[in-house]
Amino acid sequence: MKKIKSALISVFDKSGLEDIVKELKSQGVVIYSTGGTQSFIEGLGASVVPVEELTSYPSILGGRVKTLHPKVFGGILSRRELAGDVEQLEAYEIPEIDLVIVDLYPFEKTLASGASHSDIIEKIDIGGISLIRAAAKNYKDVVIIPSMNEYATFLDILKEKQGFTTESDRKYFATRAFDVSSHYDSEIYKYFAGADAKIKVSGGKVSELRYGENPHQKGYFYGDLDELFTKHHGKELSYNNLLDVDAAVNLMQEFKDSAPTFAILKHNNACGLATRSTMLEAYRDALAGDPVSAFGGILIANGEIDEETANEINDLFCEVVIANSFSNAAMEVLKSKKNRIILTQKEVTFPVQQIRTALNGYLVQDKDAKTETTNDFTPCTKLEPTDEQIKDLIFANKLVKHTKSNTIVLAKGNQLLASGTGQTSRVDALNQAIHKAKSFGFDLNGAVMASDAFFPFPDCVEIADLAGIKAVVQPGGSIKDQLSIDYCDAHNMAMVLTGTRHFKH
Using an 8 Å Cβ cutoff, are 141 and 171 in contact?
Answer: no
Segment 244-272 mean pLDDT: 96
Q: How far apart are CA 305 and CA 419, in angstroms?
A: 26
496 phi and psi angles, rounded to 5 deg = -125, 150
Residue 200 has pLDDT above 80, yes or no: no
Q: How far apart are CA 145 and CA 173, in angstroms?
A: 6
> In the structure, what pLDDT confidence band is assigned to residue 223 with cuts at 50, 70 and 90?
confident
Residue 297 has pLDDT above 90, yes or no: yes
Residues with active-site annotation:
137, 267
DSSP string across 23-52: HHHHTT-EEEE-HHHHHHHHHTT---EEHH
The residue that leads in pLDDT, 196 or 192, is 192
Residue 109 has pLDDT above 80, yes or no: yes
> In the structure, what pLDDT confidence band is assigned to residue 61 with cuts at 50, 70 and 90?
confident
Residue 399 has pLDDT above 90, yes or no: yes
Closest CA to 204 of 185, 190, 223, 191: 223
Residue 55 to residues 92, 184, 484, Cα–Cα distance (Å): 11, 28, 81
Pairing of strands 471-474, 448-451: parallel
- If 0-12 CB within 10 Å is exposed, 13-18 middle and 19+ buried, where does residue 384 land? middle
Task: Provide the whole-model pTM.
Answer: 0.81
Poorest-pLDDT segment among 65-79, 130-144, 261-275: 65-79
pLDDT > 90: percent of the chain = 84
Residue 249 to residues 354, 459, 503, Cα–Cα distance (Å): 15, 34, 18
> In the structure, what pLDDT confidence band is assigned to residue 265 with cuts at 50, 70 and 90?
very high
Length of the chain: 505
Angle at 209 between CA 244 and CA 219, to 5 degrees: 85
Non-local (6+) Cβ contacts of 149 within 8 A are 176
- The strand pairing partners of 8, in sequence order, are 32, 100
- If 0-12 CB within 10 Å is exposed, 13-18 middle and 19+ buried, where does residue 336 land? exposed
DSSP string across 453-473: S--SSTHHHHHHHHHT--EEE
What are the pLDDT digits (tens) for 331-380?
999 999 999 999 999 988 888 889 898 999 889 899 999 999 999 999 99
> In the structure, what pLDDT confidence band is assigned to residue 430 with cuts at 50, 70 and 90?
very high
Residue 54 has pLDDT above 90, yes or no: no
Poorest-pLDDT segment among 57-66, 313-322, 361-370: 57-66
Using an 8 Å Cβ cutoff, are 20 and 155 in contact?
Answer: yes
Residue 203 has pLDDT above 70, yes or no: no
pLDDT, position 190: 87
Q: How far apart are CA 467 and CA 247, in angstroms?
A: 30
Torsion angle of alpha carbons 296, 302, 303, 307, nearest 10°? -20
Question: 63-95 in b/e burial notation, b at 16+ Cβ within 10 A?
Answer: eeebbebebbbbbbbbeeeeeebeeebeeeebb
